[in-house]
Structure 1
Amino acid sequence: MSKSKPVLNSSLGKKLIMSLTGLFLCTFLVVHLIGNLQLFKDDAGYAFNNYAYLMTHFAPIKVVSYLLYASVIVHAIYAIILTSNNKAARPIGYAASAGGANSKWNSRNMGILGTVLLVFIATHMANFWWKYHNDQVPYIEYRTDLSTGVTTSTEIQAGDFHDFTKVTENGVEILKARDLYKQVDYAFDNVFLVAFYVIAMAALAFHLIHGFRSAFQTVGFDHKKYVPIIQFLGVWIFGVLIPVGFALMPLYFFFCK
């Protein structure tokens, strides 16, 4: 224990914690994007509202959610600490000249990019997570004729039922649920919120292009055999595909719904 404390408190230890939490958050982004693709289904939110309920009520996922919140906080705190330590240890002239000449823009501005992402996370949680958990979203009822597979939907008022109930009566499946899909539709009718989401996803792209590769370097997984694969994943999957996928969602609701 006496040996582990200095290691964790060292600059390398802090970078290691940042790398591990960052890679965990990257994994979450993949899962979250796959789940949120349900928003593109033309089913009045049936698939997405089922997904939203699963994500907020399935016990194992709830445990992972708490780990996610902790990872975001720890990642941000250690980023602030490392940035402050680096600024304190580096002369101003050196930072302006040598640092700017030998590093890419996103690597020099990870603090700015991270700040934008923190504001984005707070905005995102306030618009969706908070309202969903505090009964500030509308309710919807889906009726699916099991013989034909046709589903109809109707907005309803909160009643004497749980926030998600599914029963079958006379060959009709009846689902009553909180309509987070409607809340998404409502939120992304705001052009300023849509613009901010797109800007935040651009910040996420630059953040991940540098951070993904850097995380693998820190944990020691930097063999020349695997570097091209890591670079490809960092740039094209986490730097392009995932941010673009998330950015398309507000744009889709604003322009197409």
Structure 2
Amino acid sequence: MSEFKQTFNSSLGKKLIMALTGLFLCTFLIVHLGGNLLLFSNDNGFGFNVYANFLTHFPPIEVVAWILYLCIVVHAVYAVVLTVRNRKARPVGYAVQPKSDASWSSKNMGLLGSILFVFIVIHMGDFWYKYKYTNEVGFKEYRTDLATGQTTESAYTPASADFNHSVSTENNVEIVRVKDLHARVTHTFGNIWYVLIYVIAMGALSFHLLHGFQSAFRSLGWVHRKYTPIVYAIGTWLFAVIIPLGFALMPVYYFFVHKG
């Protein structure tokens, strides 16, 4: 047990933890983007609101969510610990900085990570916290005619304060009542400052993943002449381009198209 503890207290152990939590967070980004693409559906927020309700009321998903929050904190804390340790190991800088082949993103992972951590706190405060723990998010009722598939929506005021959601059927009409997180998204993305902060954070995410994804595989020792180029391509195009761009398009799209 002491050897296990010693291993994970070493620099190598901390890098392994950074790699594992980082890859878990990368997996989350794929799932999160997939769900958020529902914001582009022309359904008055129906799909997105049902998706948000599912994420916050399905027990297995809630367990995974708390693991996610833990990974974010651990990833951030270990990043700070490793940065401080590296600086203590070389307290005096070189008089002349030697040339380095390291990329800009690898040299500025601390700055990029700090931007992302601040953004996550702001983002969760605006959406997750207000959705789960305040009354600032209203309710929406969706009525779908099961014969025609046509859906209409209207504001809904629950009779009790502890109401969360309901699904029922009356006269061949499905009635879904859920919290209207979509309205919160529309309102927030109507603020140009929030849109700018969001886009800047996604730029930081892009550079952070450009180095971090492939670095995680190196930390785990998963380096192979045949597969490393594949890892590099996935890290570059999927995680550093497609995913940040997909997230960044949402606030821009809502600001110009669905501005409340």
Q: Which TM-score band applies after superposition, normalised by the shorter structure?
A: over 0.9
Give the Cα separation in 1 of the matches to 2:229 and 2:76. Answer: 28
TM-score normalised to structure 2 length: 0.95
1:146 correspondence with 2:143: no
Other-structure match for 2:157: 157
| 1:93 CA drift (Å) | 2.9
Q: 1:63 aligned to 2:63?
A: yes
Letter in 1 for 2:56: T
Give the SS at the match of 1:101. Answer: coil
Q: In structure 2, what is the equivalent of residue 128 of structure 1?
A: 127
Structure 2 gap ranges (5+): none
Report the counterpart of residue 243 of structure 2 in structure 1. Answer: 242
Query: Which residue matches 2:100?
Result: 101
1:79-136 Cα distance to aligned partner (Å, 9 max, x none): 00000111111254339713x6331111011000000000110011011001100232
Q: Which residue number in structure 1 is paired with residue 195 of structure 2? A: 194
**Equivalent residue number for residue 109 of structure 2:** 110
In 1, the alpha carbon distance for the partners of 2:234 and 2:95 equals 30
Match of 2:213 in 1: 212
Cα deviation, 1:22-59, whole Å, max 9, x if unaligned, reads 00000000000001111100001100011001111111
Rounded to whole Å, the distance in 2 between the matches of 1:26 and 1:94 is 35
1:87-98 equivalences under 5 Å are 87-94=87-94, 97-98=97-98
Q: Which runs of 4+ in 1 moved over 4 A?
A: none
Structure 1 unaligned spans of 5+? none
Tell me what 1:10 maps to. 10
Q: CA deviation at 1:157?
A: 2.1
Separation of aligned partners in 2, 1:83 and 1:216: 19
User: Scaled by the length of structure 1, what TM-score is found?
Assistant: 0.97
3-state SS in 2 of match to 1:194: helix
SS at match of 1:175: strand
Amino acid at match of 1:222: V
Q: What's the RMSD between the two structures over aligned residues?
A: 1.3
SS in 2 for 1:148: coil
